[in-house]
């Protein structure tokens, strides 16, 4: 994994009125890294994501993606990232292929059918579902469609919001394998989650967030997953 910084928070603070949502966050995410921001409800995970996506403004400090400041160059940031929300917003009356074609056209991106089919194969969406309405899809199938769309955009950075929430164990394993493959191929992945086990399986680094403040960090050593028990103890406040 390279040390080139792709995502940076520098003294990042977000306040609304008298309430501090994020308090002096400092971290860097390198190229090809899977970085997990782990925290419970109200920890500030969504605020962090929204700040990097330009939906909230830093009160103090700076957030940047691919060298672009999110407050000054948000259009450049958004061209560089793909965002996968917890509840993927796709059109139920369209098929998986039709959804992908539509959203690519909105983004002004041209891809032929062969490229679209290759992306769907890559995310392991069963072929008999490609031309079926999304209203018939499970959440896992919707996630795969959205990831295929992200791949076709060739975005170097992926922001994932609770990506395994509501997925069954088999779908979670498939998703984690795909994330690892994307990372190996150079994509930088920033995920927010409260799933300790999933984060430990896939992340190169985990940072704990509580009440808007970073409270701990864990890093993978070689190919050995991060210690789930150690992270769980720290997450539960026992470390």
Q: Which residue has the tokens 């890559």?
A: 122
How many distinct structural domains can be found in the chain? 1
Residue 85 covered by a domain? yes
Q: What is the pLDDT of residues 91-143, one digit of tens each?
A: 999 999 999 999 999 888 899 999 999 999 988 899 999 999 999 998 888 88
Angle at 198 between CA 195 and CA 203, to 5 degrees: 110
Instruction: Give the pLDDT of residue 173.
Output: 86
Instruction: Give the pLDDT of residue 239.
Output: 46
Q: What is the pLDDT of residues 42-78, one digit of tens each?
A: 899 999 999 999 999 999 999 999 999 999 999 999 8
Token pair recorded at residue 144: 């795969």
CATH of the domain at 230: 3.40.50.300
Q: State the pairing for strand pair 19-30/81-84.
A: unpaired
Residue 9 covered by a domain? yes
Residue 229 covered by a domain? yes
What distance in Å separates the CA atoms of residue 74 and residue 107, rounded to the nearest whole number? 15
What distance in Å separates the CA atoms of residue 125 and residue 141, rounded to the nearest whole number? 7
What distance in Å separates the CA atoms of residue 225 and residue 219, rounded to the nearest whole number? 9
Residue 140 covered by a domain? no
Residue 141 covered by a domain? no
Instruction: Give the pLDDT of residue 172.
Output: 84
Across 24-53, average pLDDT: 95
Residue 100 covered by a domain? no
DSSP symbol at 95 = B
- pLDDT tier at 202 (50, 70, 90 boundaries)? very high
Residue 145 covered by a domain? no
Angle at 178 between CA 174 and CA 209, to 5 degrees: 95
Q: What is the pLDDT of residues 141-158, one digit of tens each?
A: 888 898 889 889 888 999
What distance in Å separates the CA atoms of residue 54 and residue 17, rounded to the nearest whole number? 19
Residue 179 covered by a domain? yes
Q: How far is CA 123 from the centre of its chain?
A: 15
- Element holding 47 (H helix, E strand): helix 45-52
What distance in Å separates the CA atoms of residue 238 and residue 201, rounded to the nearest whole number? 21
Radius of gyration of the chain (CA): 18
Contact criterion met (CB below 8 Å) for 192 and 46: yes
What is the end-to-end Cα distance of the chain in Å, rounded?
29
Q: How far is CA 19 from the centre of its chain?
A: 26
pTM above threshold 0.85: yes
Instruction: Give the pLDDT of residue 238.
Output: 53
Structural domain range at position 191: 5-89+155-235
With 50 as the cut, is the pLDDT of residue 1 above it? no
What are the C-alpha distances in Å from 40 to residues 46, 92, 165, 180?
11, 31, 13, 24
Across 163-177, average pLDDT: 83
With 50 as the cut, is the pLDDT of residue 2 above it? no
- Looking at every residue in the chain, the average pLDDT score rounds to 91
Contact criterion met (CB below 8 Å) for 210 and 239: no
Instruction: Give the pLDDT of residue 97.
Output: 97
Instruction: Give the pLDDT of residue 15.
Output: 96
Residues 6 or more apart whose Cβ sits within 8 Å of residue 29: 5, 6, 7, 8, 35, 188, 190, 205
């Amino acid at each position: 994994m390279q040390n080139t910084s792709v995502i940076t928070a520098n003294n990042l603070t977000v306040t609304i009125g008298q309430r501090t949502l994020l308090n002096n966050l400092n971290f860097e995410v390198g190229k090809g890294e899977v970085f997990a921001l782990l925290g419970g409800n109200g920890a500030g995970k969504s605020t962090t994501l929204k700040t990097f996506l330009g939906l909230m403004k830093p009160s103090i400090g700076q957030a940047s993606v691919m060298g672009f400041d999110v407050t000054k160059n948000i259009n450049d940031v958004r061209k560089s990232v793909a965002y996968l929300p917890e509840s993927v917003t796709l059109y139920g009356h369209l098929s998986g292929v039709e959804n992908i074609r539509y959203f690519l056209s909105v983004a002004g991106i041209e891809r032929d059918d062969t490229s679209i089919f290759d992306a769907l194969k890559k995310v392991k969406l069963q072929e008999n579902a490609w031309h079926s309405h999304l209203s018939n899809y499970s959440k896992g199938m919707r996630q795969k469609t959205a990831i295929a769309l992200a791949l076709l955009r060739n975005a170097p950075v992926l922001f994932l919001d609770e990506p395994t929430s509501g997925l069954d164990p088999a779908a979670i394993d498939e998703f984690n394998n795909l994330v690892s493959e994307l990372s190996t191929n150079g994509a930088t992945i920033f995920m927010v989650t409260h799933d300790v086990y999933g984060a430990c399986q896939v992340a190169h680094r985990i940072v704990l967030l509580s009440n808007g403040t970073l409270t701990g960090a864990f890093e993978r050593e070689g190919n050995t997953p991060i210690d789930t028990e150690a992270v769980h103890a720290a997450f539960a406040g026992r470390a």
